Structure 1
């Protein structure tokens, strides 16, 4: 049975596949507690469960995303617990061995919105409205030896992400683990004039770099 991502839910794209490749390089066993923050279609949560993780939690603020992930997991017979809520709030009292996140990160005019078509990608003028929250709230939920994998555009400042994670007070060591350059998709093509006007891309630029940040807790 082919299951299509419902309209309004973030469908798997280049950033999803790049993060999935990083996830599949991690040592995942039945005892690995995995959290997928902003799960969207559930692709990453299902990838972790498919690798054998028996404790997979997926969180999304969108009821449509929650429903789609729950249904996809059931159809595949995979043990994924799906929760509705804002980022890490529903699991703030839990610990995880692996946290993955593909949050909204596209720089746009105005603040991040919480409903409508752009909720999966609009992230404020610097693209960090959600990234900064994850950098602050995810490290305390990592168990010793735990890993955070976070994907975003190079437009959002990978060095800033690394610095925030290492200064979070949880003993993390962070670095860019993967890079991939891709052509602008429909969203960035639409935003290109604004991005160019604000000096975020060069005139006529048509490609962006995606990065995966890997942070590991050593204490």
Structure 2
């Protein structure tokens, strides 16, 4: 993997206690790692923020409590958006839940900051049910390819994307796609974590696909920052 400018862990904001209905992605290491990167990003006060693949809204809440003027939280799951609405309402924060895909999100732009913790776990079969929050096709890039190719059009001048995903899903490809779209893109933070239950259960497939080494039990999470000039 190339392009890493810092492997230090960003200063961490407090982890939030969140309402989470059954079937909604539980905030995990990748969620809080991205929240830490946002906390350290220098996000301008009054920013317009988009949280893609919002889940419970943990990142949207982090943005709203860090000085964002407005936050749009997008997910394809109705249950996730119910969680976003509830968590925002309880805190009286300016967060707008929106059901849809990148196309629906783009219509509300441009944004000063786009946050994305998309599905990125390689999977031998199409995602369904709750697994849509993490399963992302044989190479883990079903959502990443579209996001990296299209996000530039969603950013305001000097706006930036913060994207978290595993090195298993090809960080260099994400960097190349973002740069090809006219953004300056670098890895601003990276850290290893042990495989969770999903990755452990899928280890044989990942080995056979050449995505991990034999016996590997950890993955590297990275946060990419991509800025529009």
Give TM-score scaled by structure 1 length.
0.93
3-state DSSP of counterpart to 1:175: strand
The CA distance in 1 between the partners of 2:35 and 2:97, in whole Å, is 19
Contact in 1 for aligned 2:112/2:160 (Cα 8 Å): yes
Segments ≥4 residues shifted beyond 4 Å: none
3-state DSSP of counterpart to 1:130: helix
Work out which of the residue numbers 69, 73, 92 in structure 1 matches 2:106: 92
The CA distance in 1 between the partners of 2:53 and 2:119, in whole Å, is 9
Deviation at 1:91, TM superposition (A): 2.6
Give TM-score scaled by structure 2 length.
0.89
Q: Which residue of 1 aligns with 2:121?
A: 106
For 1:1-219, what aligned pairs fall within 5 Å after superposition? 3-86=18-101, 88-93=102-107, 94-111=109-126, 113=127, 115-168=128-181, 171-218=182-229
In structure 1, stretches of 5+ residues that fail to align are none
In structure 2, stretches of 5+ residues that fail to align are 1-16
Contact in 2 for aligned 1:107/1:122 (Cα 8 Å): yes
3-state DSSP of counterpart to 2:226: strand
Deviation at 1:92, TM superposition (A): 2.0
Q: Which has the higher contact order (CA 8 A, sep 6+)?
A: 2
Deviation at 1:198, TM superposition (A): 1.6
